[in-house]
Structure 1
């Protein structure tokens, strides 16, 4: 399997040389969704009302993104929609959005294997500078059509940090989970980019399935003439490493838990995703 990957990477480098002479660039548009378990028990609701409630609860977890890329650099950014400016009602207590505004840019550079990510957290702007983490991709012979492109399957196992409720359901606990990440990429677009922080295959990644989270490529524009691709490197925010940013997150969440622990009647909500 490793020998086959090396052969594909060698072929990829040849394709890269050809593509560079053509100044390959483009934009790929993705739909992102999280599969969350929602349980609604009510004898007073009709099946139609329950279905509507499910759709309403799932909607905030669905987002549209655009990946702008050249041969060596890329930007990953959430697309603007009318719903991006909306936020949950805080009439029943305090709502804290930990996931940022949706305007942040993730910049990746494949030459020096680095990334720069804008991230807003607790009302403060950060600029995360760190190195890209290579994946141990395992290629599969399985292929399928995604739009007009033939895509090949690849996967790897990833150890991730997760937050679960404790057995007493009183606080969040940090745990380690092992998940399988499966992607589909096409060598017909010979760039090693992909959505979010995925990269390193001999072709553009069109689909990602990471536990309950998925990305689906819906449209691709190659070498657009009317609106040429320009790669933006984020510059705003306090410069930190990924490790430093995670520590800031953990300390802030712990402070919030300590502040509101044991205060019944004070409704507090912490939005980690969406």
Structure 2
């Protein structure tokens, strides 16, 4: 009798482990970043005509509204922007900013060894960022809601704002602008030279942002969009106060399976070194832009 029980247990263990190994899912996410504050800023700029504003808003919409696909299993996932043809005129600075909007290449997460890899292209050079996953200090809020028929639970976390993610930039507050203008006037009075300004002088970066996530234990995988993870179920929505990433479709064990593996193209670099490289190049771009009276500065390329 013991032998029979042992055999049945072995069979059940094999079936469960085999099912977990073969399990795979696919989730579609719609990412949308609010542009209302930038629109308000443009409306108050006399140098921007209504036609220019309309063109800028159309391009911003394409940059700030994206669709991503997450393919996942029990251990790893790949998150990638849905492929679309580039619209005419999406070059120069617009393409540069688009590369800082959460897209770019394949984002691979392995929650078992707590690592990630993502390939990104910035100003003509390919990078392969490899690093450890961010440890989120999630706070369970106890609230629930329905998303696409799934019961979801709320969790929040406070994280440092990434300086290389353009979505984290906010237009400066009026009091900060006035303080900058006062400093510029004092500097001009001291040396007689007026300070040149650029687009980046109008922006501010918060030190921290609060993340609100909604996850479902109906799909018990430690995964989510972008670099989000660490909850006892698939994350279906993330909101940082400016960008919302919402799951619009889920397919479990799809017929067309995807190979979930890390990208391997580009210069290998840590997240810290990548951020420092991007910040340095952005400062160079800012200086060039100021030196040309707010025009140009788009021809800069990464040295290889």
Q: TM-score, normalised by structure 2?
A: 0.71
1:232 aligns with 2:261: yes
Query: What is the CA distance between 1:264 and its match in structure 2?
Result: 2.6
Query: What is the CA distance between 1:30 and its match in structure 2?
Result: 0.4
- Report how many residues are paired: 246
Query: Equivalent residue for 1:25?
Result: 24
Query: Equivalent residue for 1:259?
Result: 288
Q: Which has the higher strand share?
A: 1
Contact map agreement 1:118 1:237 (CA 8 A) in 2: yes
SS at match of 1:230: coil
Query: What is the CA distance between 1:99 and its match in structure 2?
Result: 4.1
Q: Partners in 1 of 2:54 and 2:205 — Cα distance? A: 33
Query: What is the CA distance between 1:259 and its match in structure 2?
Result: 2.5
Q: Partners in 2 of 1:134 and 1:121 — Cα distance? A: 26
Query: Equivalent residue for 2:150?
Result: 149
The C-alpha deviation readout for 1:110-162, integer Å capped at 9, x for no partner, is 11100011011111000001000110101122111111211111101122144
1:63 aligns with 2:66: yes
2:197 to 170, 185, 204: 170
SS at match of 2:287: helix
Query: Equivalent residue for 1:244?
Result: 273
Query: What is the CA distance between 1:180 and its match in structure 2?
Result: 1.2
| Aligned ranges 1:117-128 → 2 under 5 Å | 117-128=118-129
Query: Equivalent residue for 1:88?
Result: 90
Query: What is the CA distance between 1:34 and its match in structure 2?
Result: 0.4
Query: Equivalent residue for 2:139?
Result: 138
Q: Partners in 1 of 2:94 and 2:240 — Cα distance? A: 27
Q: Partners in 2 of 1:202 and 1:261 — Cα distance? A: 48
Query: What is the CA distance between 1:228 and its match in structure 2?
Result: 1.2
Query: What is the CA distance between 1:233 and its match in structure 2?
Result: 1.2
The 3 A distance-change label for structure 1 pair 189 and 20 is farther
Structure 2: give runs of 5+ residues left out of the alignment.
Answer: 1-14, 164-168, 182-195, 300-304
1:183 aligns with 2:185: no
Q: Partners in 2 of 1:29 and 1:105 — Cα distance? A: 15
| Aligned ranges 1:20-59 → 2 under 5 Å | 21-22=19-20, 23-36=22-35, 37=37, 38-39=39-40, 40=43, 57-59=60-62
Query: Equivalent residue for 1:14?
Result: none
1:193 aligns with 2:223: yes
Query: What is the CA distance between 1:262 and its match in structure 2?
Result: 2.9
Query: What is the CA distance between 1:98 and its match in structure 2?
Result: 4.4
The C-alpha deviation readout for 1:218-254, integer Å capped at 9, x for no partner, is 00010012x0132031000000000110111111112
The 3 A distance-change label for structure 1 pair 75 and 265 is closer
Contact map agreement 1:99 1:120 (CA 8 A) in 2: no
Backbone CA RMSD of aligned residues: 3.3
Contact map agreement 1:140 1:153 (CA 8 A) in 2: yes
Structure 1: give runs of 5+ residues left out of the alignment.
Answer: 1-16
Q: TM-score, normalised by structure 1?
A: 0.78
Contact map agreement 2:140 2:156 (CA 8 A) in 1: yes
Contact map agreement 1:99 1:121 (CA 8 A) in 2: no
Q: Partners in 1 of 2:115 and 2:143 — Cα distance? A: 31
Q: Partners in 2 of 1:266 and 1:51 — Cα distance? A: 20
